[in-house]
Structure 1
Amino acid sequence: MDESGKEWRCVGKVEELARKKCQRLYSAGGKTWDLALFHSKGVFYAMEAWCSHLGGPLFTGDIEDYKGRCHVMCPWHGYMFDLKDGSNEIGLKQEVHDVKIENGDVYILYRTELSLTAPE
């Protein structure tokens, strides 16, 4: 655990997670803590699941090459967010989280447990 209370959380196998470009990760902390996991050009990215504009589900957005960088487009209003740093041209910002691959598993540095399935 680091000073922010975050730990590396295993979310699944690379070969399984790489099958989808965008997917939701459910947080043990509740819906507002959910993340969106993206896979593009062999790289995984993680950011807040809900758009900072009006809460659109970014995990259902499209990944686009925009100005030479990978972005996700919010399905509600079309805002583009850089997958690497969460930035946007009009000043909106998404929190992004470090992702690493170890022994064929994908890990995200985060404060709660994460799952591919919704809690019951």
Structure 2
Amino acid sequence: MSKEETVESGKPFLVGNKKDLIETKRTSITVGERVLLIIHHEGVFYALDQHCYHAGGSLLNGDIEELDNRLCIVCPKHKYKISLKNGEGIYNATNPKEKDKPPCWKSKGIKQRVHKVTEVDGKVFLTLSETPGWIESDYYQSEKGRADLKLEMDLETNKSAKS
């Protein structure tokens, strides 16, 4: 499902029927000019910018994994891990000076903009994030970021056509 609407800041936007969104599990939606991903996983709805903060890869088909008690989506392009709850970039850290200590999961901080999802009477609503400041996934929601994504897709299409 893809919708293009204008949305006032801070106002909930109707995404669809809860039953339909549960069946599809993942839905790509355009709200204003923002491309978002709605995920239903284990009884909970999540919403985040659809393009990974790292290189703009689509998260639509990313695997969902639990890492250190954090539910994360894994970008199919470069395997970056992003917390569904708050958009933190998660990485597996090791300290080369402590060779006997096992790696542990650490946060890079918030890298992916997440949005609020609410359910009312069988309907699902989304409210765009009002978190102030720049979050890295914002780049792929900008005019320049969208142009870069289009250029990359065109290059990949040309590569495939030549093969």
Amino acid at match of 1:11: V
For residue 53 of structure 1, give the secondary structure of its aligned residue in structure 2. Answer: coil
Kindly provide the CA deviation profile for residues 91-119 of structure 1, in whole angstroms up to 9, marking residues without a partner as x: 261001111000001100028xxxxxxxx
Return the index of the structure with the highest Cα Rg: 2
Cα RMSD for the two superposed structures = 1.8
Structure 1 counterpart of 2:67: 66
Moved beyond 4 Å, runs of 4+: none
Distance in 2, Cα, partners of 1:24 & 1:17: 11
Amino acid at match of 2:58: P
Point out which structure has higher relative CO (alpha carbons under 8 A, 6+ apart).
Answer: 1
Within 5 Å, give how 1:99-118 maps onto structure 2: 99-110=117-128
Distance in 1, Cα, partners of 2:39 & 2:11: 20
Structure 2 counterpart of 1:5: 9
Query: Identity percentage over the alignment?
Result: 33
TM-score by length of 1: 0.79
TM-score by length of 2: 0.60
Q: Tell me, which stretches of 5 or more residues in structure 2 are unaligned?
A: 1-7, 92-107, 130-163
Whether 1:82 and 2:100 are equivalent positions in the alignment is no
**Which of the pair is proportionally richer in helix?**
2
Structure 2 counterpart of 1:95: 113
Q: Tell me, which stretches of 5 or more residues in structure 1 are unaligned?
A: 112-120
Amino acid at match of 2:111: K
Distance in 2, Cα, partners of 1:26 & 1:62: 22
